[in-house]
């Protein structure tokens, strides 16, 4: 299967200016998991319907989130490099890692993806708590309205929320310090949710235990300091992409278009994001 074409992590922006220039637009269908590239308020004002990727990516992203967390804790990628460069035979036994089971993990953003992450963490025997815009009445996980307090009571944070004005740099120096020297952060949301410069500094200084990152502030540029750190696992913003998810996405896009032009309800409408 050929490699997919180069993708923009933010998608094609649908701004007020774009909508003004295209007054006939009545539907926007996005294939991304995030919605920060769409002016939803302007779409609502103009009566433009919006369809999202819905549940298509939830399993894939949740799987990678857990994979990144296990990789950082068990030093999988670091161990792979250790073997490949011949260090096992020349330097001896590899450094100890840490198990996932029993860890206190905070999920930031308990939406579709966040819920799938939480379910997987439960299966590994983790204690799950969360931060979200508001408390979810249908879950029993402890809720923290303050993300810093969540970090204080966790061994790891998994960032699953969307990017907006409220979440930009929400994971700041104070939150990262609250997570602590043994704490691990995993980000499969958007790079700018974390203050990347502060995170890099704390990782280099040993004030943060490790990071598993699928997203970055200035993609595809990754801070050079991260490349040399064995406690950091890097992924090129591919959490949503598998052969299965792309096939399902094509079906969903076609289904939304057919529904719209048949005056039927959209399959994955964005009602109030």
Read off φ and ψ for residue 269, nearest 5 degrees: -70, 145
Q: What is the pLDDT of residue 34?
A: 82
Asked if pLDDT for residue 5 goes beyond 60, the answer is no
Residues 78 and 108 grouped into a single domain: yes
Asked if pLDDT for residue 96 goes beyond 50, the answer is yes
Residues 207 and 270 grouped into a single domain: no
Q: What is the pLDDT of residue 272?
A: 57
Residues 77 and 208 grouped into a single domain: yes
Residue 139's Cβ-count burial label (10 Å; 0-12, 13-18, 19+) is middle
Average pLDDT over residues 85-109: 97
Expressed as residue numbers, the domain containing 92 is 58-234
Q: CATH code at 244?
A: 3.40.50.720
Examine the residue annotation and report whether 7 is marked as an active-site residue of this protein. no
Average pLDDT over residues 144-157: 98
Query: Which residues, 6 or more positions from 270, have their beta carbon under 8 angstroms from its beta carbon?
Result: 35, 40, 50, 51, 52
Residues 74 and 187 grouped into a single domain: yes
Asked if pLDDT for residue 235 goes beyond 50, the answer is yes
Residues 99 and 218 grouped into a single domain: yes
Residues 102 and 25 grouped into a single domain: no
Q: How confident is the model at residue 32 (pLDDT cuts 50, 70, 90)?
A: confident
Residues 65 and 52 grouped into a single domain: no
Residues 144 and 266 grouped into a single domain: no
Residues 133 and 4 grouped into a single domain: no
Asked if pLDDT for residue 139 goes beyond 70, the answer is yes
Give the integer Cα–Cα distance in Å for 44 and 229: 45
pLDDT in tens, 67-82: 999 999 999 999 999 9
% of the chain with per-residue pLDDT over 90: 93
Residue of 60, 120, 190, 196 marked catalytic: 190
Examine the residue annotation and report whether 168 is marked as an active-site residue of this protein. no
Residues 194 and 109 grouped into a single domain: yes
Domain count, the chain: 2
Q: What is the pLDDT of residue 33?
A: 79
The beta-strand segments (E) located in the chain are 27-29, 49-51, 104-108, 127-131, 156-159, 184-187, 210-213, 232-234
Q: What is the pLDDT of residue 64?
A: 98
Residue of 42, 207, 217, 219 marked catalytic: 219
- pTM of the predicted model as reported, rounded to 2 decimal places: 0.90
In whole numbers, what is the pLDDT of the chain averaged over residues? Answer: 94
Residues 132 and 267 grouped into a single domain: no
Residue of 60, 120, 196, 237 marked catalytic: 237
Asked if pLDDT for residue 7 goes beyond 60, the answer is no
Residues 132 and 264 grouped into a single domain: no
Examine the residue annotation and report whether 237 is marked as an active-site residue of this protein. yes
């Amino acid at each position: 299967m050929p490699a997919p074409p180069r993708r923009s992590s933010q998608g094609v922006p649908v701004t007020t200016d774009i909508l003004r220039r295209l007054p006939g637009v009545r539907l926007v269908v996005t294939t991304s998991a995030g919605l920060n590239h769409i002016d939803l308020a302007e779409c609502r004002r103009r009566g433009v319907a919006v369809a999202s990727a819905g549940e298509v990516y939830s399993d894939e992203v949740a799987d990678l989130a857990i994979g990144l967390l296990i990789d950082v804790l068990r030093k999988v990628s670091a161990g792979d490099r250790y073997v490949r460069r011949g260090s096992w035979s020349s330097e001896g036994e590899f450094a100890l890692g840490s198990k996932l089971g029993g860890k206190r993990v905070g999920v930031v953003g308990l939406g579709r993806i966040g819920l799938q992450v939480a379910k997987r963490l439960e299966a590994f025997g983790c204690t799950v708590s969360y931060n979200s815009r508001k408390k979810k009445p249908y879950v029993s996980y402890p809720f923290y309205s303050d993300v810093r307090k969540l970090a204080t009571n966790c061994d790891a944070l998994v960032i699953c929320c969307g990017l907006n004005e409220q979440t930009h740099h929400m994971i700041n120096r104070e939150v990262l310090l609250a997570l602590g020297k043994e704490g691990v952060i995993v980000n499969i949301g958007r790079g700018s949710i974390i203050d990347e410069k502060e995170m890099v500094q704390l990782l280099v200084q040993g004030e943060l235990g490790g990071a598993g990152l699928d997203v970055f502030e200035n993609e595809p540029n990754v801070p050079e300091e991260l490349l040399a750190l064995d406690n950091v696992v890097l992924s090129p913003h591919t959490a949503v992409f598998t052969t299965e998810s792309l096939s399902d996405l094509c079906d969903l896009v076609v289904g939304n278009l057919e529904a719209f032009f048949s005056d039927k309800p959209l399959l994955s409408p964005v009602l109030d994001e």
